[in-house]
Amino acid sequence: MAAEDRPQIYLLTPPAFDAQVFPGLLAQVLDAVEVACLRLALATRDEDALLRAADACRMVAHGRDVPIVIETHVMLVSRLGLDGVHLTDGARTVRHARKELGQEAIVGAFCGISRHEGLNAGEAGADYVAFGPVGATPLGTGASVDPDLLAWWSEVIEIPVVAEGALTEALIRELAPVSDFFGIGEEIWSAEDPIAALKRLDGAMR
């Protein structure tokens, strides 16, 4: 695969982490492997915890020219000096986010396994659409993305597509020709050596 055609890594933070410790590991990861974007994907709704985590991760990411977006919290983007938002409710709030954040901000939308939702998000102004999970998982409904959806999207739609959720090296090799980005998070943070794990997944994209 030609270098310009290779998918890029869209890195997700763990849903919970120590804001004193994780930024150091994040810096090592970003220095080791090229990452296109970082998503602050914290599960907490504690504002202070979000502020501390966002500040620490923003400094690491921006110090390496990596844009950083936050999951869900549109109103915190400007306050925290972030680059945009990743919406988890499909197309529903894309127009609102775009209106609040302006044209320069990154607005992405997670659309599950629904082509219809993805198309609506794109029409509403999303910069990218994420589909997932692409791998087998007992979580949620247990449903996963049909590879044909990604193939169709990459052929017909110009809006970049992110494949994420329960990724493996084999899945990445299979989907690399039809994915612009791979959203990688738990796949590496649960590993004993996150950097080595990310390098393996990165190698599968080539």
From 111, 162, 77, 118, select the one nearest 85 (Cα to Cα): 77
C-beta separation of 180 from 160 below 8 A: yes
Tell me if 116 is assigned to some domain: yes
| Position 2 pLDDT exceeds 50 | no
Kindly report the CATH number assigned to the domain that includes residue 111: 3.20.20.70
End-to-end CA distance of the chain: 6
Question: Region 101-118: what's the mean pLDDT?
Answer: 98
Residue 203 lies in a domain: no
Q: Which residue, chain included where needed, has tokens 């939702």?
A: 117
pLDDT band at 166 (very low <50, low <70, confident <90, very high): very high
Residue 186, domain member (yes or no): yes
pTM: 0.97
Residue 186 has pLDDT above 70, yes or no: yes
Q: Could you tell me if residue 198 is inside a domain? A: no
Q: Determine the structural domain holding residue 56 and report its residue range.
A: 7-192
Q: Kind and range of the H or E element at 70?
A: strand 68-71
- Is 184 contained in some domain? yes
Angle at 198 between CA 195 and CA 200, to 5 degrees: 110
* Residues 25-30, mean pLDDT to the nearest whole number: 98
Residue 39 has pLDDT above 60, yes or no: yes
- List, in order, residues 6 or more apart from 166 with CB less than 8 Å away: 132, 133, 134, 135, 136, 137, 144, 187
Q: Residue 165 in contact with residue 171, Cβ under 8 Å?
A: no
> Which amino acid type is present at position 75?
M
The whole-angstrom separation of Cα 204 and Cα 170 is: 7
Report the length, in residues, of the chain: 206
Q: Would 87 be classed as within a structural domain? A: yes
In the chain, how many domains are there? 1
What pLDDT score was predicted for residue 1? 44
Short-list 204, 199, 191, 181, CA closest to 67: 181
CB-CB contact of 76 with 46 (8 Å): no
- Cα torsion 138, 139, 142, 147 to 10°: value is -100
pLDDT tens digit sequence for 136-157 = 988 888 899 999 999 999 999 9
Q: Is 176 domain-assigned? A: yes
Does a structural domain hold residue 200? Answer: no
